[in-house]
Amino acid sequence: CRKDNPLLEFVDDKNPGLYVQSVADMLESLSEGKKGFSKEEIYEAVEKLESEGYLSDDRLIENLVNYYSKKKFYGKYRIKLELLSKFDRESVDRAFDSVCEVIDFRAFAAEFAQKEIKKGTDREKLIRKLQRLGHDTPSIRGALSLISQSDE
């Protein structure tokens, strides 16, 4: 099947390390005007790559949720907004809640709060920063209580 579709040959032979963020990105980057592939070839290639597990919006959403929470200290609200700017609502709704169940946002909020306190940020300013990062009230309260416990 790969030899019947020049796009699959392109992905296999010329770009073995091709990394595609999402199905939408692949469609956009390989559109007819940019690489010269027909829409039929693109859709066939996307279907094939999805069925083989090379393209998965759900897996990418999971990776982004982990990245945003652990590296950028984003809370649920901010992460969901970021994802909705990159993916359709259906994909986000399907993957978001199950991924968020296993993440301790309170711990990441506490880690961020500790860094800010070391910089001399006062409590009120810290709360506003955590809110801007998308943390909900229970996560913020939990983070502040974790910090006060560790100070004792």
Residue 5 has pLDDT above 70, yes or no: no
**105 with 135: CB under 8 angstroms?**
yes
pLDDT of residue 136: 94
More confident residue, 98 or 10: 98
Residues 119-143, mean pLDDT to the nearest whole number: 94
pLDDT of residue 19: 44
Residues 17-29, mean pLDDT to the nearest whole number: 54
pTM: 0.68
CA 38/CA 47 separation, integer angstroms = 14
Residue 68 has pLDDT above 60, yes or no: yes
Where does the chain have alpha helices with state H?
6-9, 23-29, 32-35, 39-51, 57-70, 76-84, 89-100, 105-118, 123-132, 137-151
Per-residue model confidence as pLDDT tens digits over 76-130: 999 999 999 988 899 899 899 899 999 999 999 999 999 999 999 999 999 999 9
pLDDT of residue 125: 95
pLDDT of residue 8: 53
pLDDT of residue 1: 40
Task: Compute the mean pLDDT over every residue in the chain, rounded to the nearest whole number.
Answer: 80
Residues with Cβ within 8 Å of residue 110, at least 6 apart in sequence: 142, 143, 144, 146, 147
CA 147/CA 123 separation, integer angstroms = 11
